[in-house]
């Protein structure tokens, strides 16, 4: 046997996800790279670890036993690393956070100072949609989750970080249909509040099912009984943003991910009655969860430093 720790980590993630694609996304690898590592790992065993049925990946019973052993090996390796760091007087351990995809614009700013102070901590962040974030929290697979909409069926604690505001977004005012009648309007002039009839003519771009942004957008449309006749679905916030900038359509999006596009006039906020939708970005954890020393230290850091972080990193949000 000549497997590597990296192969064990990749295989364990594949077992958890039962998906090459999702594993590649979470590990920031290409799908071919993950497939090659799985093949190299499989070549060391005469019994199949996985099987594909109807284009879906399944883990065999033997594969699950290997995954259990792999997890035990990786835990022992972590213990060795933590012991070494502890002898140096460093805070050690693993901090595992699940984050909704738009939260990638929020979480790094609330982590960088902490990780700089505690270099002995291993950080794992899973970036995915709201549905999967809540499932990982419910299964007690993570220490914390970062969400903008609180789960209704879980007993949780929360730490509010900052507001999350969603606006109707379109490409820059220069060449949009919404402002085509105002030929003398400059890109710096705020557009007028559009009406229901104009909304009906828009091609709307939605996030995928399970996304909190999509839920908020659909909830707003349903509440105000807005007509929607043209729609596109895209899988990520970045994909939606690029499509809007290209003039493909409009979307209701969190302003947190639009800082540079708004400042550079690549995008504009289109005023519409009832917007913005306002929620809060919250760090949440299970009430029954016994936080590790690393998780406890992180929570204390957030409670002490969050106002300073908000003032330094997110004060621009007040402009919108």
Three-class secondary structure assignment of 205-220: EECCCCCHHHHHHHHH
Q: Which pLDDT score, from 0 to 100, does residue 81 have?
A: 67
Rounded Cα distance between 240 and 105, Å, is 15
What is this structure's pTM?
A: 0.70
Residue 185 has pLDDT above 50, yes or no: no
**What's the token pair of residue 73?**
């090996």
Predicted local distance difference test score (pLDDT) of residue 182: 42
Q: What is the CA radius of gyration of the chain?
A: 23
Strand, coil or helix: what is 28?
Answer: coil
- Residues near 117 by Cβ (< 8 Å), separated by ≥ 6? 301
Backbone angles phi, psi at 230, to 5 degrees: -125, 125
Poorest-pLDDT segment among 42-46, 154-158, 284-288: 42-46
CB 50 within 8 A of CB 58: yes
- Residue 204 confidence (pLDDT): 94
Q: How far apart are CA 122 and CA 95, in angstroms?
A: 6
Asked whether residue 140 carries a pLDDT value surpassing 50, the answer given is yes
Cα–Cα distance for residue pair 315/318, rounded to 1 Å? 6
Is the per-residue pLDDT at 76 higher than 90?
A: no
Cα 205 to Cα 132, 179, 284: the distances in Å are: 22, 19, 29
Q: Which domains does the chain have, with CATH numbers?
A: 1-88 (1.10.10.10), 164-279 (3.40.190.10)
User: What is the arithmetic mean of pLDDT over 61-67?
Assistant: 93
| H-helix or E-strand spanning residue 264 | none
pLDDT in tens, 247-280: 999 999 999 999 999 999 999 999 999 999 999 9
pLDDT confidence of residue 94: 87
pLDDT grade for 88, boundaries at 50, 70 and 90? low
């Amino acid at each position: 046997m000549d497997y590597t720790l990296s192969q064990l980590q990749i295989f364990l993630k594949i077992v958890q996800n039962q998906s090459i694609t999702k594993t590649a996304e979470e590990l920031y690898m290409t799908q071919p790279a993950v497939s090659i590592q799985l093949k190299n790992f499989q070549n060391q065993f005469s019994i199949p670890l996985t099987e594909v049925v109807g284009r879906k990946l399944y883990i065999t019973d033997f594969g699950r036993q290997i995954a259990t052993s792999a997890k035990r090996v990786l835990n022992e390796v972590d213990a060795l690393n933590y012991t070494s760091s502890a002898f140096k007087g460093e805070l050690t351990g693993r901090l595992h956070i699940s984050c909704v995809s738009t939260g990638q614009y929020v979480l790094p700013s609330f982590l960088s100072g902490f990780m700089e102070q505690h270099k002995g901590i291993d950080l794992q962040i899973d970036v995915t949609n709201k549905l999967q974030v809540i499932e990982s929290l419910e299964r007690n697979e993570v220490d914390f989750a970062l969400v903008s909409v609180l789960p209704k069926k879980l007993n949780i604690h929360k730490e509010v970080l900052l507001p999350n505001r969603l606006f109707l977004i379109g490409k820059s005012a220069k060449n949009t249909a919404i402002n085509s009648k105002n030929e003398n309007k400059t890109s710096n002039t705020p557009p007028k509040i559009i009406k229901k009839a104009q909304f009906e003519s828009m091609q709307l771009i939605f996030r995928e099912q399970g996304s909190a942004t999509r839920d908020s957008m659909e909830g707003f449309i349903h509440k105000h009984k807005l007509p929607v006749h043209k729609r596109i679905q895209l899988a990520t916030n970045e994909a939606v943003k690029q499509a809007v900038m290209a003039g493909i359509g409009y979307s209701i999006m969190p302003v947190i991910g639009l800082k540079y596009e708004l400042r550079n006039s690549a995008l504009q906020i289109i005023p519409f009655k009832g917007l913005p939708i306002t929620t809060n970005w919250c760090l949440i954890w299970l009430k029954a969860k016994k936080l590790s020393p690393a998780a406890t230290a992180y929570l204390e850091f957030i409670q002490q430093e969050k106002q300073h972080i908000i003032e330094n990193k997110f004060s621009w949000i007040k402009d919108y």
